[in-house]
Amino acid sequence: MPVSAASRKSLRWEKKTDDMKPLRIALTKGRLEKTTIELLETIGYNCDEVRNKGRRLILPVGDNDFEVVLAKAADVITYVEHGVCDLGVVGKDTILEHGSSFYELLDLGFGKCRFALATKSGSDFYSGYNTKTIATKYPNVTRAFFDDKNMDVRIIKIEGSVELAPLVGLADGIVDIVETGSTLKANGLEVIEWVTDISARLIANTASLKLRKREIEALQKKLEEVTR
């Protein structure tokens, strides 16, 4: 199929370098933010602006190499999914609970913990025919976990300390994030099953990865080297 010279010219992709916006990275405020900033400094980016951020929420990094946006965990996913941020650093727990469509590029290896199913010590969770009640802050993770077992459960969403629910008799068990297990122990609960491992992940907007492949891959590679 012949294409006219004029249209062939118009099809050429023109490289924009000067007026290109810097990559925008959404970071989960708090612990993940701190570790990510340390990581960025390790690979040679100046993060002074972020360290002295005051109340600002959008901050330049390095020689305007990219912009850092600080957000709550679930919002990191929202910003990346809608493409207003190109990349994001967020915990696997948030991805599992809120996840939708984006690329998960890298396991950054920090912020490690686990989702676990816990019950009152000594109780036999799987015994009997009654439908079990689970209290959790993560209803989607819980639903998926028991769906895989083909097990009907009643899920109750709790906002604060989930450990309380089985103690006061609201639930038979809880699904929650466990780091050291000391809170569970102090309240007479024990882990009966690990649901999944959690750590911080680098995520990317689908269109950004296609349109700004080189920049994103370069950063990904650098991060990969220091987190390995």
Partner 1 sequence: MKRYLKITPEGTKDFLFAECAAMDDVCGRIEKVFAGRGFKRVITPGIEFYDVFSLPCSGIAQEDMFKTTDNKGRLMVVRPDSTLPIARMVSTRLQNNLMPVRLYYKQAVYRNNPTLTGRRNELMQMGVELLGVKGLRADLEVITTAVEALTAVAGDFRIELGHAEVFDALSDGLDISENEKEKIRLTIEGKNYSALNNLLDKLEPCRAVSAIKSLPSLFGGEEVFERARAICAGTKASDALDYLHKIYTSLLALGLGDKLIIDLGLVQRNDYYTGMVFTGYIDGIGDAVLSGGRYDDLLSEFDMPMGAAGFAIDTDAVTLKTLSDAKVSYADNPAVLVYAEDGQELRAIELVAELNRAGRKAQFSVLPTWEETEAFARQRGIAQVITVGEED
Instruction: Give least dist CB 104 to partner 1, A.
Output: 4
Q: Which of residues 1-30 bind partner 1 (CB under 8 A)?
A: 1, 3, 7-16
Single out the segment in contact with partner 1 by CB under 8 A; choices: 60-68, 115-123, 170-178, 199-207: 199-207
Residue (2 or 128) nearer to partner 1, CB: 2
Q: How far is Cα 41 from Cα 44, in angstroms, rounded to an integer?
A: 5
Among 103, 133, 139, 222, the residue binding partner 1 under the rule CB under 8 A is 103
Instruction: Give least dist CB 111 to partner 1, A.
Output: 14
Interface with partner 1, residue 149, by CB under 8 A: no
Q: Where are the alpha helices (DSSP H) in the chain?
A: 5-10, 31-42, 48-51, 73-81, 92-98, 139-148, 164-167, 182-186, 206-211, 213-227
Residue (48 or 84) nearer to partner 1, CB: 84
Interface with partner 1, residue 102, by CB under 8 A: yes
Q: How far is Cα 115 from Cα 184, in angstroms, rounded to an integer?
A: 13
Q: How far is Cα 153 from Cα 135, in angstroms, rounded to an integer?
A: 10
Residue (48 or 151) nearer to partner 1, CB: 151
Sheet holding 132-136, edge to edge: 153-157, 132-136, 173-178, 113-120, 189-198
Q: How far is Cα 175 from Cα 207, in angstroms, rounded to an integer?
A: 34
Among 58, 74, 211, 218, the residue binding partner 1 under the rule CB under 8 A is 211
Q: Are 52 and 68 in contact (CB under 8 A)?
A: no
Interface with partner 1, residue 81, by CB under 8 A: yes
Query: Which chain residues interact with partner 1 by CB under 8 A?
Result: 1, 3, 7-16, 78, 81-84, 100-107, 201, 204-211, 213
